Amino acid sequence: MTLEAKKDNLIIYEDFDIIIVNKPAGILSHADKHEKNETISQWLKNSQHSLARRIGVISDPRAGIVQRLDRAVSGVMVVAKTQLALYFLQKSLKKRKFFNKKYLVVIKKCFPKKKLIFTFPLAKTKTRGVVSFLRGKSSYTSCKTKRKLRKGCLIECFTRSGRTHQIREHLSFSGFPISDDWHFQSKKKKKSEETLLLAKKITFLLPGNWN
C-alpha cells in the first residue's frame, strides 16, 4: 500500500502554513541515494494533497520537513507549506527557541532515579550518531521515568538539540538501551523496521502567533 493510500492516517493537522504528519515506522523521512521505497518527502512532493498545489517550498529537497525522524521511529513531524513558515521553524529549531520535542521510549533497564539528564557531545558517522568528546557537538536530552514495566521501563524524553540518533545514542552509551533497537545492539540480531521510540509531541508557535 502506498503512502497516498494511507494519507487519512498520516495527516493529523493542517492549516495554510503547516502540516503535522504522523510518520509510520519503517519509512524514511526523506530520500537518500540508496533508498528504493517511497519516503515522506517524496509523498509530500508527489501527492495530490493541497501541499502539492499551494506549497512555496516544493523545490526544497526535504519538501518542507522541519525535523526528520529515523526510519525506525514513528510519531509526529511538522512540515512547512510556505517559505516563511519553513524559515521561521528552522530558525526556531536551530536556536532552541519556541520549538520543543517530547518522546516516549521503552528501555531495557530502569534508571536508578526518576530523572536523568544526558549532555554527551554527539558526532555523525556514515551510518549513525555517536558520542565523541573530541569532535562531537553539544546536545541535551532529559528523561524521566513514567512507569515500570514487566521488562524495563517506559520513559519520557525531552530534547533541546536535534543530533542524529540523539536519544538512541545517549541512552545506549549510558547503559540504558532502547528495547528492540537493532541499530545499537549486536549485529547478529535481526534488523527491525521499528524501535520502541515514539515522537509523542511537538510544541512550537503557529504562524499567527509569531509577532
Domains of the chain listed by start with CATH number: 1-95 (3.30.2350.10), 100-205 (3.30.2350.10)
Q: What is the pLDDT of residues 4-62, one digit of tens each?
A: 656 667 888 888 888 888 988 888 887 666 666 777 777 777 765 555 445 554 456 66
Known catalytic residue: 15? no
Please, is 154 exposed, middle or buried when counting C-beta atoms within 10 Å of its C-beta (0-12, 13-18, 19+)?
middle
> What is the distance between the alpha carbons of residues 80 and 4, in angstroms, rounded to a whole number?
19
> What is the distance between the alpha carbons of residues 121 and 170, in angstroms, rounded to a whole number?
9
Percentage of the chain lying above the pLDDT 70 cut: 75
Q: What is the pLDDT of residues 75-106, one digit of tens each?
A: 998 888 888 888 888 877 776 666 788 999 99
The DSSP secondary-structure symbol of 177 reads P
Q: Contact at 8 Å (CB) between 69 and 77?
A: yes
Active-site residue, selected from the candidate residues 8, 70, 180, 181: 70
Single pTM value for the model: 0.80
The DSSP secondary-structure symbol of 26 reads T
